[in-house]
């Protein structure tokens, strides 16, 4: 699938509709920055708004995937081509053991045969990948993380311990989802001895706390004391909090497009989240950028 071609196609149709990026963003409930990313081929629209986008641009999803208008007598040919592209993507992702990345691009496709083939092949929709095996910690966290867990949108994970060897880990979870764009939710709970706790507090204090108040409605932390914070108004947060005794909780919430597809409230204790944090699809912080 040629994202650059699709992006140029979106830009062309938007201009034909005499819409600015801001006006198109308003209609879709996204930001103008998102429109810009689509049109430059850096990102793709989320599956949840794909059908609405096609309606606004007066095309069908098959034309969207092709990145061009399709004559009626060529619909079947393009459908077969698009099916071939998606099948190749499927086998590529299957080989990499990825999580059905491409399923979202077929939502709304008019051809019953095309949909039927894909859904039979897929056997379902995108699923969250949940990892709780602490032995896989260094495979999914830090500079030595493997493949899809390595580059988390440029967000630093230095706040997390480099190694969990000999640490008294009480709980660990990572949730990964690829819904067009990779998203991550992780937390690690460690109980330290008195000496090691003091040492870790000193390390985290040196890291510091980046501005975060106001991002996604955050007002601060009530249940725990914040020790260190890596934050980005677009990509999310990596932070460490403590009970001020012996326990430190490391958390990362990394996403894009101003909302999170991961159902984070189902995966992380609410007390580990910042007060007021809201990254659901209709969050007020996202609307601020519309």
Q: Are strands 181-191 and 225-232 parallel, antiparallel or unpaired?
A: unpaired
Question: Residue 81: its pLDDT value, please?
Answer: 52
Kindly state the average pLDDT of the residues 250-255: 97
Question: Residue 83: its pLDDT value, please?
Answer: 52
Question: Residue 241: its pLDDT value, please?
Answer: 98
Question: Residue 59: its pLDDT value, please?
Answer: 87
Question: Residue 269: its pLDDT value, please?
Answer: 97
DSSP conformational letter for 177:
E
Question: Residue 107: its pLDDT value, please?
Answer: 42
Kindly state the average pLDDT of the residues 149-161: 92
Q: State the average pLDDT for the chain.
A: 83
Lowest mean pLDDT across 119-133, 239-253, 255-269: 119-133
Which residue has tokens 């501005």?
A: 211
The answer to whether residue 50 scores a pLDDT higher than 70 is: yes
| pLDDT band at residue 101 using 50, 70 and 90 as cut-offs | very low
**pLDDT > 70 in the chain, percent:** 79
Kindly state the average pLDDT of the residues 109-134: 59
Note the pLDDT tens digit of each residue in 218-235.
Answer: 999 999 999 999 999 999
Rounded distance between C-alpha atoms, residue 266 and residue 127, angstroms? 14
Write down all domains in the chain, each with its CATH number in brackets. 3-122 (1.10.260.40), 129-287 (no CATH)
Q: Are strands 236-242 and 247-254 parallel, antiparallel or unpaired?
A: antiparallel
| pLDDT band at residue 209 using 50, 70 and 90 as cut-offs | very high
Note the pLDDT tens digit of each residue in 3-34.
Answer: 888 999 999 999 999 999 999 999 988 888 88
CB distance 159 to 204 below 8 Å: yes
Number of H helices and E strands in the chain, helices first, is 10, 6
Question: Residue 171: its pLDDT value, please?
Answer: 98
131: tokens are 């990892």
Rounded distance between C-alpha atoms, residue 71 and residue 96, angstroms? 36
Q: In what order do the strands lie in the sheet with 225-232?
A: 129-131, 168-179, 181-191, 247-254, 236-242, 225-232
> Whose CA is closest to 38, among 257, 234, 281, 285?
257
The answer to whether residue 270 scores a pLDDT higher than 90 is: yes
């Amino acid at each position: 699938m040629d994202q650059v071609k699709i992006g140029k196609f979106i830009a062309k149709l938007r201009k034909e509709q005499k819409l600015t990026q801001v006006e198109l963003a308003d209609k879709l409930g996204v930001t103008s920055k998102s429109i810009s990313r689509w049109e430059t081929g850096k990102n793709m629209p989320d599956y949840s708004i794909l059908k609405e986008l096609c309606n606004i641009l007066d095309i069908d999803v098959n034309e969207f995937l092709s990145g061009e208008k399709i004559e009626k007598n060529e619909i079947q040919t393009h459908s077969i081509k698009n099916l071939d592209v998606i099948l190749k993507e499927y086998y590529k992702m299957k080989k990499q053991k990825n999580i059905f990345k491409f399923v979202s691009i077929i939502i709304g496709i008019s051809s019953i045969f095309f949909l039927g083939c894909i859904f039979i092949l897929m056997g379902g929709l995108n699923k969250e990948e949940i990892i709780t095996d602490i032995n896989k910690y260094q495979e999914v966290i830090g500079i030595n993380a493997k493949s899809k867990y390595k580059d988390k949108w440029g967000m630093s994970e230095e706040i997390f311990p480099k190694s969990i060897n000999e640490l008294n880990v009480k709980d660990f979870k990572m949730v990964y989802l690829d819904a067009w764009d990779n998203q991550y939710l992780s937390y690690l709970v460690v109980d330290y001895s008195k000496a090691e706790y003091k040492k870790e507090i000193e390390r985290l204090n040196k890291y510091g706390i980046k501005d975060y108040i106001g991002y996604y409605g955050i007002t601060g932390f009530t249940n725990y004391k914040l020790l260190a914070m890596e934050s980005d108004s677009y990509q999310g947060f990596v932070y460490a909090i403590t009970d001020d005794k012996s326990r430190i909780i490391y958390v990362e919430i990394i996403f894009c497009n101003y909302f999170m597809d991961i159902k984070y409230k189902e995966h992380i204790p609410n007390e580990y989240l910042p007060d007021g944090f809201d990254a659901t699809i209709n969050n007020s912080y996202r609307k601020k950028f519309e």
